[in-house]
Amino acid sequence: MKKLNLMTVLALSAFVAACSTAPGNYLDTSSLKEQPNNQPQQQYDVHLITSQLVMQQAQTAAGVHVDLPPAKYANAADYTYHIAPQDILGVTVYDHPEISTPQGSTFSQGGNTTQTVGQALTQPYTSALSGQSDPYGQTVAKDGTIYFPFVGRVMAAGKTPGQLRDQLASGLGPYIKNPQVDVRVLAYRSQKIQVTGDVKTPGPLAVSDVPLSLVDAITRSGGTTDNADINRVRLTRNGKLYVLDANRMLDSGDATQNVMLQDGDIINVPDRSDSRVFVMGEVKTPIQTGMIRGKLTIADALTSAGGILDTDANPRQIFVMRGMKDNPSQPEIYRLDMTKPDAIMLSSQFQLKPLDVVYVGTAASTTFNRLLQQVLPTVQTVFYLKQITR
């Protein structure tokens, strides 16, 4: 009998020792010192998902105030372009071509191309003519002035083309009887916005006499890429960051999100990396899935993961863990009991938020079965050794 017990102990020792010498990845932890955690386990409040909670969630979302950037103009009809340094102006005095900007002349657009003044007048205002020279147009100097025959140096910056036109006409009055003057901006070079991120053609857009809105800027940058998240478009203005939902403008006509842009604005269209939802636990395919136009329900997330495992999942423990990025010590935890009659309705109405974790719990019977699967091979090995040594 003692011999049998000795053989059993030796067999178990060899079995355990084999674990440390088996092929595969192995980390020697002898030089690592782990500090014991003597702190008590923290308790988290769990909110049961009910119809009242879903209604409260919808009311809260509807009443959320979005911080919008201050605007210079109340609406697009009030917008007026003001001339600034580096703009190129074309001045026409009718019946006096000797002091007018030549209509047939060309000025360089940069590179090997040229453009007539007439073409410049009809060009899309979104085109920023970088690097162009101005041998025939009136370039506004750094001090905001231009020089015009008979009138001399005139302050143009800060004025509208109409205001500058009236000033030039008044200055030409002593020399030309009833002068007819027209002033146009041939190249908008002084003011611009930047469009970056997941758009097809990122880069600067010129601010011109036509108001430029958020949706205009995205559209005229080639539109967004497939991975763009237009629900969280970032606008930086005067050093402050604003998050705008361009999709609300496109889907529900919420014009408040389609803000009017101004000189110095930076638009960034982010990707969907911060709009993911993680589905884990007893599901068929644990995945991370993106939100659909800024929305995703528990039912959407579980369907994307192939549903819960029929035999292993605990349908009473569908957890939603929220806020772990901003407040990891005090996350919000919600639980859905799928055995309730209204569970299907609630799962299709409870809206998830970016970076939420949906976790499906494990059934108690499954935990016991998995324990047996771990222990059973060792028990069988001991049994066979006992049979052999008889």
pLDDT tens figures, 159-215:
999 999 999 999 999 998 899 999 999 889 899 999 999 999 999 999 998 899 999
Domains of the chain: 84-187 (3.30.1950.10), 192-270 (3.10.560.10), 274-366 (3.10.560.10)
> Which span out of 254-263, 264-273, 364-373 was modeled with the highest average pLDDT?
264-273
Percent of the chain topping pLDDT 90: 34
70-82 per-position pLDDT tens digit = 888 878 888 899 9
* 338 and 307 Cβ atoms separated by less than 8 Å: no
Report pLDDT digits (tens) over 336-367: 998 888 888 899 999 998 889 999 988 876 65
Residue 61 above 60 pLDDT?
A: yes
